Amino acid sequence: MGCLTVEVALGLKSGALNASPSSGTYQLCVNLNKGHKEEFKDLFKFTQLICARARTGTWGSKSFALVDIATIPLNSCIKEGKKNASKLWRLMESVHVYREGNLTGFDLSEMLVLIFSGGIGKGESCLAHKALTFLFPNSQDLSPYDESIVHDSFHQLIQEQSQRAEAESLELQEWPPRDKGGGSQLHGAPQEYSSATLRILANMPSRTIGRSRGAIISQYYNQTVKLRRKNSRPLLRDMSRSARPSIRQYDLEFDLTPREEEEKRSLLVEELQGLTITQRNHMLQNMPLSLTEKRCLRQDIYIRRGRQRCYQISQTQLYCCSHLKYHCIIAFRSLWYGLLSGLYALKPWRYSLKQISGQFGSSVLSYFLFLKTLVSFNILLLLLLLPFIVAVQVAFPPTSESSNFQSFTGLELFTGGGPFTHTVMYYGYYSNFTLNQPCSSHQSSDHCPANAVHLPYNMPLAYLFTIGFSFFITCITLVYSMSRSFGKSYRVGSTLGVHAITVFCSWDYNVTQKWASRLQHDNIRTQLKELLAEWQLKQYPRSVCGRLRQMTVLFLVWLLSLASVLGCAIAVYSFSEFMHENHEIRTETISEKLQEARLLVLPLIVCIINLVVPYFYNVLAICEQHDSPVLEVYVAICRNLILKMVILGLLCYHWMGRKVKSLEDQCWETFVGQELYRFMVMDFIFTLVDTLFGELVWRLISEKLKRDRKPEFDVARNVLELIYGQTLTWLGVLFSPLLPVIQVLKLLFLFYIKKISLMANCQAPRKPWRASHMTTIFITLLCFPSFLGAAIFLSYAIWQVRPSRNCGPFRTLDTIYEAGKVWIRRLEEASPSVTWFTWIHQNLVENTFFIFLMSIVLLVAIYFNIQVVKGQRKVICLLKEHINNEGEDKIFLINKIHSIYEKKAVHQ
Amino acid sequence: AEEDFSWFDLTEIELLRVKCLPHTLDVLRASSLYTPFHIQLSHKTQRARAHRRFIELLPPESRNVEDSLRVRVSTEQILTLPELKANPFRERICRVFSTAPERDSLSFEDFLDLFSVFSDAATPEIKSHYAFRIFDFDDDGTLNKEDLKCLVNCLTGDGQDTQLTSSEMKQLIENILEESDIDRDGTINLSEFQHVISRSPDFTSSFKIVL
């Protein structure tokens, strides 16, 4: 009996808990007070809501039948003019002391109060009080007198209902004996539960779902029912009473008997037939059943459907030509599969990537995947640049002015100068007129074939637009992939559950090597130990003295690292200054070859700094002794990034400020392009050197010393090097359109070299890596300092800097951007019919007001998004509170069930 | 979401088996109509690969299509696959996916099922469901303290010297329950488990075996 009380309370209460402002039920309560016309429908909705809640929640199935009993009288009470439920009505009257109002209306919120307070015993009314204050936020404190009335009346109600339940022989059935071993001690509830209670707990749907096939089938049956209802639900009041969805069919199953399971299965098949094909496929795909069962289900669906529909048609068609047809189909299919497996093998680097992930896990894999992404970015750039700029220029070579052929010494491969200077590699080579013009003023006008088809090609314009467009596309792809990876790895309002996540998700199933798996065991063990130590540290925080010491160390280390950045910057700056002045003084006195070689000194120094300083930072990080290894990685990335960006910024300043002025008579754009080429080649060489010495030699030494300690593959540093190289490419695209080709070649080489070195020399990193977070960070770094910096640099070069007078496509203009303006002016002169275009240009592009407006719109959109996220956070907080409440409820109810069974045991 | 449950639409193998059923073509049409082409392509090649790998496990005399569909391969033989060899959960994986009454052998369909769950095409829900079943060592539908203990031991290695100390283990299990046992009943049930997993975006990329 008491158990029934609990169960009714439980079913209704969990429904009522749903009555938050977000679910709309609260609204419903308010509505009900206002008018009574929509009552029937709304009340049904409410009952459904309760049921849905209990169905998806973690409560026992028997509670449902009782919810059914408890709520149906309410319906009939309204519907049939309160004839059948006069007793219930009396109860309502007795609690009406809470609110003044007319008794003809049915006050649902009062009913809720009843239900709430009834579920809790007299002494344990905290939840009831919570519910009351929730429902009546403005009411004064309730007197204990009122509360006791509520309790009494509710118990009366329960008694009546349970009598009815007995009459309908809905007695709780005897559970089949089932022994359950461990896990008997409940968390937060110290006492041991009796085996009877445990049996009930074991049969709760929350537990059967992880175990029995019947429960899975039944759960998915419920889901399909819900889906179908959502698709086509007639208004409830239009249906006859018997056709209304009964709550009983929703109930969740325990471990089913085979017969029951079969029944459920056929129900599921019927439900699945009612869905559309895509929905059905999706549903079947998501079912955690075995393949055989899925296939049987699917065949059942089609067989039954076939009986209904297409037997008349298909039978005759298929029987006459079946064998031949099937053989043809099979032959064709196997041919097709052969072809497909060939295609599969073509997927680039599939095997290499599998090998890497098999031996080193997903963190090292993320480096190689990032490398692959960079290759695809560069290929994207090339796809635009090659056909629209380079190929056209190659097809129409400019009349060579400086045909003094320089000898090729081999050094030019590193400097990018010499014979390469006047090629499509660099900006200076490109012509500044319309190519392929039939009778252009630039070419001699005597051969001007009349009827040949000519497509004029304005080179400066093409140059400007292609570069602009490729940057735009890159920007969009970057932002898109960044947002996607952010969406994947960061959820709004997610809390940390480090221990659980580490235990559940840290094993990398990709790993296929014995030694790699042993290593992974070690890593996970260290990680778990570290986590526990960290946790204990948090429980018992460090002493003031210790914290002070740590702060001092941190401060000193940061000071040192920033000072080193400053020192490097000053060194690079003064050296470039020195080289610059020297260059002007002593150009004549030294041989040409030496001059070439001198150009390499600056990149060399920068690369040495880039190579050595990160090691210095690593030493500093050892002194720091960060608590969490993740923080250590972030700090290392941050420092390296500061260093690289400062140096690159300085170099940009050096090129744009100084070189532009001093090289006015020559082609400064080509010079900058060559500089970037040199930096890139040097960077590549140094990466090779680093791989060789940092990894190979280190391994040899450690092998000599018989220490079982291979060097680790430092993902963060390597990725930063990739980002650095990509920044160089983006910086140089304007001045050297073929730079992405070099970058692609470099990356391809790097892939294989790094892979070989990794396989031979390295061991998997011991630091815990959250690979997807790291990928997000890598993409963000690629977007923010790197791409944005390059874009700013290029915009400055396009809008502000005067192009050199005697080379390149923009040699006659004041700025590169003027090419566009000139074109528009010409367009206006040539054909007045396109005035709308010039209008757009004048009013939308040139006008600051429009840009201002656009940015305001953007800001507003961002603001709205932020607000939405805030709202979601609030909702998440609310839901979390609900979950906590339900947890409390569950403990309470389990205790209740336990005490009831205890009593039963005593009686017997 | 439009992905077909590809691993199980009618393959050429099944066509062989159900040669003369009148509804077959209907099924075929329906299944291929609603699947994007490129997805069909990648799934079918994967299935072909899986079949090849499975046949390699069979004794030489039964390496043909008909036999490969009938014969069951014992767990010991499945465990010799290099993809599973280094996995501490390999016995559990085989047990969970086996449909034999004694749970000791895998048919081709079970095999396909196994690798489809561990493939890219499987949804996170399916993956987490099977992960739960794999971690549920006593098959009782919840992760209790014993299960968690086994799980941690599997992760850290089974040797006596590699295990966590008992106090560490106790602390760890308490922390795990504290973090993920929402309804405080002392065990982690499927939905709680899936809730935890949903917060770890790395899970789908690491719960993967490439054939």
pLDDT tens digits for A274-298? 777 777 777 777 777 777 777 777 7
Are B189 and A207 within 8 A, CB to CB?
yes
| Contact check, Cβ <8 Å, A208/B141 | yes
Q: What pLDDT score does A474 carry?
A: 93
- CB contact residues (below 8 A), chain A span 272-291, against chain B: 277-278, 281-282, 284-286, 288, 290-291
The contacts of residue A247 (CB under 8 Å, 6+ apart) are: A47, A48, A51, A64, A67, A68, A71
The whole-number pLDDT of residue A571 equals: 92
Q: Label residue A657 by pLDDT band (50, 70, 90).
A: confident
Spell out which residues of chain A touch residue B130, defining contact as CB-CB under 8 Å. 288
Provide, for chain B, the percentages of residues in helix, strand and coil under a 3-state DSSP scheme, each rounded to the nearest 5: 60, 5, 35
Distance between B119 CA and the closest CA of chain A, angstroms: 11
Q: How far is A655 from chain B (nearest CA, A)?
A: 43
Verify whether the Cβ–Cβ distance A206 to B190 is below 8 Å.
Answer: yes
CATH class of B123-210: mainly alpha
Confidence of residue A716 (pLDDT cuts 50, 70, 90): confident
**What does the DSSP 8-state code read for residue B59?**
-
Query: How much is the average pLDDT of A44-62?
Result: 40
Work out the pLDDT band at A562, boundaries 50, 70, 90: very high
Q: Determine if the pTM surpasses 0.80.
A: no
Closest chain A residue to B188 measured between Cα atoms?
A: A207
**Cβ separation of A186 and B164 shorter than 8 Å?**
no
What is the pLDDT at residue B83?
A: 84
B86 contacts B73 by C-beta, under 8 angstroms:
no
* B41-122 and B123-210 share one fold: yes
Tokens at A877, concatenated? 């907080």
Which residue from A minimizes the CA distance to B182?
Answer: A887
pLDDT at res. A477: 93
- Interface predicted TM-score (ipTM): 0.82
Q: Which of B4, B114, B170, B210 to mutate to test the interface with A (most CBs of A within 10 A)?
A: B210
Q: CA-to-CA distance for A889 and A880, rounded, in angstroms?
A: 14
Q: Which chain B residues touch A488 with a CB distance below 8 Å?
A: 201
| Letter string b/e over residues A580-609, b meaning 16 or more CB atoms within 10 A of that residue's CB | eeeeeeeeeeeeeeebbebbeebbebbbeb
Q: Tell me which residue of A228, A211, A222, A229 sits closest to A268, measured CA to CA.
A: A222
| Amino acid identity for residue A498 in this structure | V
Please report the residues numbered 314 through 343 in chain A whose beta carbons come closer than 8 angstroms to any beta carbon of chain B.
314-315, 318-319, 322-323, 326, 329-330, 333-334, 337, 340-341, 343
Of chain B, the end-to-end C-alpha distance in Å amounts to 23
Domain boundaries, chain B: 41-122, 123-210
Q: Which residue of B has its CA nearest to A304?
A: B23
Nearest Cα residue in chain A from B126: A288
- pLDDT band with cut points at 50, 70 and 90 for residue A707: low
Identify the pLDDT of residue A589.
63
A880 contacts chain B (CB < 8 A) = no
Which numeric CATH code is attached to B41-122?
1.10.238.10
Tokens of A352: 């290499």
- For A189-208, the pLDDT digits (tens) are 444 566 767 776 676 666 67
Q: Which one of A183, A207, A886 has the shortest CB-CB distance to B145?
A: A183
A212 close to B (CB below 8 A):
yes
Interface of A with B in 55-94 (CB under 8 A): 58
Q: Which among B11, B12, B29, B33 is the top mutation candidate for probing chain A, defined by the most A β-carbons within 10 Å of its own β-carbon?
A: B12
Sign of the alpha-carbon dihedral angle for A353, A355, A361, A364: negative
CA of A513, closest CA in chain B: separation in Å? 6
Question: What residues of chain B lie within 8 A of the CB of A208, using their CB?
Answer: 141
* Residues from chain B contacting residue A332 (CB–CB below 8 Å): none
Q: Is A285 within 8 Å of B45 when comparing Cβ atoms?
A: no
Interface test with A, best of B54, B83, B156, B209 (most A CBs within 10 A): B156
- A891 touching chain B per CB within 8 A: yes
What is d(CA A887, CA A42) in angstroms, rounded to the nearest whole number?
29
SS (H, E, C) B115-143: HHHCCCCCCHHHHHHHHHHHHCCCCCCCE
The verdict on a CB contact (< 8 Å) between B200 and A504 is yes
What percentage of residues in chain A have a pLDDT greater than 70? Answer: 62
Express each pLDDT in A729-776 by its tens digit: 999 999 999 999 999 999 999 999 999 998 888 877 766 566 667 788
Residues in chain B predicted with pLDDT less than 50, given as ranges, are 1-36, 38
Alpha-carbon gap: A536 to the closest alpha carbon of chain B (Å): 10
Contact A509 B209 (CB under 8 A): yes
Nearest to B190 among A186, A209, A294 (CB): A209
